[in-house]
Amino acid sequence: MEHKNHHNHHEHMIADFRKRFFVSLVLTIPILLLSPLVQNFLGLSETLAFQGDKYVLFLLSTIIFFYGGWPFLTGLISELKQKKPGMMTLIGLAITVAYTYSAAVTFGLEGKVFYWELATLIDVMLLGHWIEMRSVMSASRALEELARLMPSEAHLVMRNGAVKDIALAKIKKGNIVLVKPGEKIPADGIVIFGKSFVNESMLTGESVPVEKTINSEVVGGSTNGEGSLKIKVMKKGKDSFLSQVIELVREAQESKSKTQDLASKAALYLTIVAIFGGLVTLIVWYLIQGETLAFSLERTVTVMVITCPHALGLAVPLVVAVSSGISAKKGILIRNRVAFEKAKDIQAIIFDKTGTLTKGNFVVTDTVILDKKYKKAEIFKYAASLESHSEHPIAKGIIKKSKATWAVENFKAVSGKGVTGVVNSKNVEVVSPNYLKERKIEHKNSDIKKLIVQGKTVVFVLLDKKMVGAVALADEIRPESKKAIKTLANMGIKSIMLTGDNEKVAKWVSEELELDDYFAEVLPQEKSKKVKEIQKENLIVAMTGDGVNDAPALAQADVGLAVGAGTDVAIETADIVLVNSNPEDIVSVITLAKKTYGKMIQNLVWATGYNAVAIPVAAGVLYGYGILLSPAVGAALMSLSTVIVAINARLLKA
């Protein structure tokens, strides 16, 4: 509930900035038309001026100052309380000085008003913050998405054998629940009746659906296969596996360090410059040069207003907006800007195996002949004919490659062992290595041993009780993975694989892709710990994955990358989402992050650097040469700076 409230608060803040921007923008139009400087520029002084217009100008500016400027005024107070002056302090200071001085001029002080500069400054800063907040990731909905993995109801088996649907929250430890084919398992428990294959890949990372029989443990949130199961509930609520994953995600998200915004650093320095520059200007002109207070104050205010350039408020948000547009076209969704900026410094990338480096489905890789009377194609056709009647994931992999099959009679599935039947008047068996062990059937084929060492799944084909061949399958490696790993190596970035699969499978994939390192048989709750271990080597670490089991690790990493084909929770926990599930997009992320950061630096240098010239001139250092920077010229310089920053942002290319 707390997480949801935080998310709603963030949405409310975005809506609030949008509303304040449009209201202030509408009020700015009459302020511009009533400003003497604008009237003179348009040659409409006699047409637009009227008796008491300065008071109307004051009233409209007062509304903008307090309504449009409110976030910056409260931000100024907040930053000063925390002793961390930044962008809010700079903006708040500039608009307060401009408004206070202009109000004093309206009611008798000699000088010129800064109302239109005040209004446009507030407009631009509201726009900048609105753009920025939309670009920054809203509070992660990961915890809500995790909760959605659980069904809303469960089929409770009553003592009399009847089945009653009840709300998930009403389930108690010790209850018996029925899970029908294709349904999600409602709680952690033990199977007391039935057989089925359960897909736990989104929870454990294991690519193969796991067979569940009596006394097998099941995890809430996993998906049941073709069979019906009766489960005795052993854990629920905070003790469940899913709740523990939720807690890991929460801890990792809260512990993630937040880097300070570049623009805020620039704003801190400019705040110091503004205050110091304004005081020096006032002291020099009024106390040393002996000028009038009106002249000295005008110089001071000009310095303080010009120190807060419109461009600074847009320097980063505009680049972010352009960068987000480019990345979206490439199928890269940036959810956390701070993490995206950090992507330029990535030194190691940890890949989840299933669904990221691999496709997460079985494909046939080899067919081995054990009896030379048969050809490979014939052996495979016998296997495919039999497997065409099975729903097992291995069967699906074999069927996918088969072009034709023969008719099958007396088909029978032997749970956990394989399938049997009659094809072309021959007794055909497609069985697992365990089946051979039980029957004490041995093979001494070196090719098959090599395939098993590689971690591939091997099934054996028997015709009339005689072993004639074998078919090997493996989780299909994405063709893009190899290219991506090679490119990352050329960039000096380490590639590491983290998987729940066994050592043999992990080693085979690692060698195929030429990875720097791998960790196999890693339990879901240990994945975030592995990320921490690598971070302790003083490396900036990215993690990419697609399952619930990856969520804590994605949150713990400096940069979390989710492949779009994965679960909603992985996507919601990640900083960046790769919609196309293409490992090569990781290279694109790093390249774009480097270019985006470069543009941000260029914009910030321009947005703040021109102050080196503008501030001394505004202070009047060239007054002796007859050159005095008026507030109007200062405003024009600010506008020019904004235009340059906007054009530079648009020049960002992928």
Task: Indicate if 552 and 424 belong to the same structural domain.
Answer: no
Number of domains the chain contains: 4
The structure tokens listed for 547 are 């399952």
E strand or H helix that includes residue 263: helix 262-282
What is the 8-class DSSP label of residue 417? T
pLDDT for 3 equals 46
What is the 8-class DSSP label of residue 43? T
Report the distance separating Cα 33 and Cα 95, nearest Å: 20
Share of the chain above pLDDT 70, in %: 86
Residue 29 lies in a domain: yes
pLDDT of 58-80, one tens digit each?
999 999 999 999 999 998 899 88
Task: Indicate if 604 and 589 belong to the same structural domain.
Answer: no
Residue 248 lies in a domain: no
541-545 and 348-352 strand pairing:
parallel
Q: Averaged over 385-414, what is the pLDDT?
A: 89
- Kindly report the CATH number assigned to the domain that includes residue 207: 2.70.150.10
Task: Indicate if 526 and 464 belong to the same structural domain.
Answer: no
Class of residue 653 by CB neighbours under 10 A (exposed 0-12, middle 13-18, buried 19+): exposed
Contact 305, 634 (CB under 8 A): yes
pLDDT for 639 equals 63
Task: Indicate if 353 and 493 belong to the same structural domain.
Answer: yes
Residue 249 lies in a domain: no
Q: How many residues are present in the chain?
A: 654
- Kindly report the CATH number assigned to the domain that includes residue 378: 3.40.1110.10
| Lowest mean pLDDT segment, chosen from 224-233, 545-554, 592-601 | 545-554
pLDDT of 159-180, one tens digit each?
888 999 998 888 899 999 999 9
**pLDDT exceeds 70 at position 6:** no
Contact 165, 155 (CB under 8 A): yes
Final residue belonging to a domain, choices 546, 565, 594: 594
> Which among 251, 31, 230 has a CA at the least distance from the CA of 123?
31
The amino acid at residue 353 is: K
**pLDDT exceeds 50 at position 453:** yes
Task: Indicate if 460 and 365 belong to the same structural domain.
Answer: yes
The residues assigned a catalytic role are 352
Task: Indicate if 7 and 108 belong to the same structural domain.
Answer: yes
**pLDDT exceeds 90 at position 51:** no
Final residue belonging to a domain, choices 424, 451, 476: 476
> Which among 77, 481, 437, 391 has a CA at the least distance from the CA of 211?
391
- Paired with 413 in beta bridges are 419
Secondary structure percentages of the chain, helix, strand, coil, to 5: 55, 20, 25
Task: Indicate if 380 and 428 belong to the same structural domain.
Answer: yes
**Which band of pLDDT confidence, cut at 50, 70 and 90, is reported for residue 137?**
very low
**pLDDT exceeds 60 at position 254:** no
Residue 241 lies in a domain: no
> Which among 208, 200, 262 has a CA at the least distance from the CA of 432?
208
What is the 8-class DSSP label of residue 283? I
Report the distance separating Cα 244 and Cα 417, nearest Å: 34
pLDDT of 373-390, one tens digit each?
999 999 999 999 999 998
The domain of 179 spans: 150-183+188-235
Contact 582, 331 (CB under 8 A): yes
Residue 403 lies in a domain: yes
Report the distance separating Cα 358 and Cα 349, nearest Å: 16
Task: Indicate if 443 and 507 belong to the same structural domain.
Answer: no
Contact 365, 471 (CB under 8 A): no
The structure tokens listed for 396 are 């699906």
Task: Indicate if 453 and 384 belong to the same structural domain.
Answer: yes
Report the distance separating Cα 627 and Cα 278, nearest Å: 19
Report the distance separating Cα 152 and Cα 162, nearest Å: 20
Residue 244 lies in a domain: no
Final residue belonging to a domain, choices 549, 566, 594: 594
- Paired with 474 in beta bridges are 363
**Which band of pLDDT confidence, cut at 50, 70 and 90, is reported for residue 309?**
low
Task: Indicate if 221 and 177 belong to the same structural domain.
Answer: yes
DSSP assignment string, 213-248: -TT-EE-TT-EE-SS-EEEEEEE-GGGSHHHHHHHH
- Kindly report the CATH number assigned to the domain that includes residue 562: 3.40.50.1000
Task: Indicate if 388 and 515 belong to the same structural domain.
Answer: no
> Which among 438, 441, 394 has a CA at the least distance from the CA of 211?
394
Backbone angles phi, psi at 74, to 5 degrees: -70, -35
The structure tokens listed for 55 are 């008071």
559-563 and 541-545 strand pairing:
parallel
**pLDDT exceeds 70 at position 147:** no
Residue 131 lies in a domain: yes
Report the distance separating Cα 106 and Cα 310, nearest Å: 25
Task: Indicate if 133 and 265 belong to the same structural domain.
Answer: yes
> Which among 253, 202, 206 has a CA at the least distance from the CA of 546?
202
Report the distance separating Cα 226 and Cα 383, nearest Å: 22
Highest mean pLDDT among 90-99, 257-266, 533-542: 533-542
Q: Averaged over 271-280, what is the pLDDT?
A: 83
Q: Averaged over 561-582, what is the pLDDT?
A: 72
pLDDT of 458-468, one tens digit each?
999 999 999 99
Residue 340 lies in a domain: yes
Report the distance separating Cα 89 and Cα 84, nearest Å: 9
- Any idea which residue has 């700076």 for tokens? 641
b/e burial code for range 292-326 (CB count within 10 A of at least 16 → b): eeebbbbbbbbbbbbbbbbbbbbbbbbbbbbbbeb
pLDDT for 410 equals 94
> Which among 128, 484, 183 has a CA at the least distance from the CA of 315?
128
